A = this chain, B = another copy of it.
Amino acid sequence: MAKYSFNDDYSEGVHPKLLSAIVATNASQQIAYGNDNFTSEACNRIRAKIGCNADVGVWFVPSGTSANAISIGSCLRPHESVIAASSGHIVVRETGAIEATGHKIIQVPPENGKLTVASIQRALDENWHFPHMARPRLVYISNATEIGTVYSKRELKDIKALCVERDLLLFLDGARIGHAMASSKNDCTWHDIFDLTDMFWIGGTKNGSLLGEAIVIKDPKIAVDFGFHVKQHGCLLAKSWVMGAQFAAFFDPENNLFLHLAAHANEMAARLSTALVAAGHELVAETETNQVFAIVSLPVLEQLQQHFNFYIWERLKDAKQEKAVIRLVTSWATDADQVVKFAAVLEQSSRA
């Protein structure tokens, strides 16, 4: 029997309500390339949720890497660069997709997984020698971050103020924005996210959809032509309603499904986190969403690996012993019984 996996939040399929939404589209003829009713409904529900006008663009693409590359490529001129944390997904897990569109990324060390006003300012200070250096033009942040932390409204406001002052676009990678919004640490509304950024996207794949991320584009001049970028990148699906239908279901005003799924993932992570601390293990980052990073000894690691799949994030070695940073990720589909079982194995192996 395959071991239960806490490896990531995209190893399970699709939530039944989303699957039903797809199946429901199947009986009919639709207009291709996103001009169908399901997509239209999804756009309207997203616009209603974030509180914006109809001239705000909403586009669906099949993956996070495409969401980032298409969005960033759509609003930069060839000599403009991106400021990102060195831990940012576009830096470490997207095969150079941003550079493949021609743009340099200026990396700054993250603080608790985040960019700060000070770190962005430092990047600007070090990239001043024009035209010998590319011009910083867009700030890339992820919320939740790659280590599961969440930006406060204060942090976003401060970053946005700097961006306005320095003529920078603020772009938010929302691969796990559901988990951020559902976090107990969150104090932003959906409208705040819209208001405080220039472009952001709402991740479906890591929150229970089969595929699909929804990109929200504030600037009407960019929005009006956004379809060209999606199509040129090969991401304008003929049967785009497969994404539209899921997002319409995600943002069904009757059930708040999108938040609900993320809240479950967060709750499961909180329990794993609590169990780790209770068993005496150190967390590498506070558990604010659906990712848990903790340090375990090698014997504990081996015990856990006998029962579960998960990611060894880093190997540590000091004078006394070797240890490992493990990453546990939960999802909309995480089985609470498996969390209990994990806690039990952990407790037993940690006592030894």
Contacts and interface: CB of A to CB of B under 8 A. Distances in A.
Given A26-B14, A79-B225, A232 B100 contact: yes
A329 to B, nearest CB: 11
Nearest to A89: B132
21 contacts: A11-B32, A23-B23, A63-B237, A64-B234, A65-B231, A66-B235, A74-B77, A77-B225, A79-B229, A81-B96, A95-B132, A95-B231, A97-B234, A99-B103, A102-B102, A130-B228, A134-B232, A205-B237, A210-B239, A211-B211, A211-B238
A177 to B, nearest CB: 16
Contacts of A14: 26, 239
A282 interface: no
Contacts of A25: 13
Give 5 closest A-B pairs by Cβ, nearest first. A66-B234, A96-B104, A79-B228, A13-B26, A10-B238
Contacts of A94: 132, 231-232, 234
Nearest to A3: B29
Contacts of A78: 73-74, 100-101, 228-229, 232
A263 interface: no
A44 interface: no
B234 A233 contact: yes
